[in-house]
Chains A and B, each alone.
Chain A
Amino acid sequence: MSRNRKMDFAAGIQDGIPICLGYIAVSFTFGIMAKNAGLSTWEAVLISLTNLTSAGQFAGLSLITASASYFEMAFTQLIINLRYSLMSCALSQKIDNHYPSFHRFLIAYGITDEVFGVSVSRPGRITPWYSYGVMALAAPGWTLGTFLGVVSGSILPDRIVSALSVALYGMFIAIIIPPARDNRIIRTIVVISMAASFFFTKASVLCQISSGFRIIILTILIAGIAAYFFPVKEDANPEDKEDSSVEA
């Protein structure tokens, strides 16, 4: 049992490495902006440590600068971060429910786009120890990057920051492409999703929609249509067999 815990934790650490690197690059920028907004090192680091999210923090920072109301702050965070609840729903089926439910309260803290990504890519159920392994690198990476950004905007050369900025996207691609290669339906979904996302950022009215909402709208729409026309039946469809691990 404890050996399994260790192995799960180690697997989480391993998947956490690219997340950590990518986070340092992104939160580095957040640190610089927080400093420019007049926040102290401690305050900037506290935001990153307690929020662990990118778009929400950037928006929060501008609301703090604008001296917005607390309600406005709460509402903005709700809208921008609502996608996490979709991910949380999906993860609720992915976490091994033989573990006491207090683990879920801890795991919830670490649900980011990237942690969600690596978690769903694991075959079978995930244990809390895997999540803790990922979080053990993701959260310090995010916080450390913020710290570095505040104390010195020049520790990391621009070129390194620019290169590391694709780390997280590279990770997403590594997660969705192999199943897309094996399964025609997933392949179609990935292509349609990217095309729709591109269309939403270019089309005149649709481009006004924030990225958080774009993700929610397209996810509900595309995953909903796919679920209606191509329901996943356990052990029925041979084409889904190789991917049933993602769902199981």
Chain B
Amino acid sequence: MKHNLYMYIFVMAAVTYLIRMLPLTLIQKEIKNTFIKSFLYYVPYVTLAVMTFPAILTATANIWSAAIGFAIALILAWNRKSLICVSLFSCAGVFLVELLTGL
């Protein structure tokens, strides 16, 4: 049987939305349990760190430009620069390295 493209898109969108929507709407009260509170407090740091490294090293055209972009981001973030500043200078670093090395 041939599948319908719109049905595929509907299934994808519905599942993805439910995954996002259910916890957000089912847990509305403030959680009092210290362990769960602490767990949720640490979740973003682990999640974002795991997503960033080592994926950032393979995001660009070559590992050297990526490494420079990574280093720039770390240094600027350590010095508390803003989100946009860290993000754009990191991109600029990658761009310059690739431009200069011709890769």
Query: Contacts of A70 on B, CB cut-off 8 Å?
Result: 3, 7-8, 11
Q: Which B residue's beta carbon lies closest to that of A248? A: B41
* 30 cross-chain CB contacts under 8 A: A43-B5, A64-B8, A68-B3, A70-B8, A74-B11, A77-B15, A82-B19, A88-B22, A90-B40, A92-B24, A95-B24, A97-B29, A108-B25, A113-B51, A116-B47, A163-B91, A165-B59, A166-B59, A169-B69, A170-B69, A170-B91, A172-B48, A172-B51, A174-B73, A181-B78, A197-B50, A219-B43, A219-B47, A223-B40, A231-B35
Task: Give the contact-size bracket for chain B.
Answer: 35 or more
Q: Out of A74, A92, A189, A201, which one reaches B54, CB within 8 Å? A: A201
Query: Contacts of B83 on A, CB cut-off 8 Å?
Result: 15, 18, 118, 121, 171, 174-175
Residues A173 and B43 in contact, CB atoms below 8 Å apart? no
Residues A89 and B37 in contact, CB atoms below 8 Å apart? no
Q: Out of B11, B15, B24, B36, which one reaches A111, CB within 8 Å? A: B24
Main secondary structure of the interface of A (DSSP, over half): helix
**Contacts from B to A (Cβ < 8 Å):** 2-3, 5, 7-9, 11-13, 15-17, 19-31, 34-56, 59-61, 65-66, 69-70, 72-74, 76-78, 80-92, 94-95, 98-99
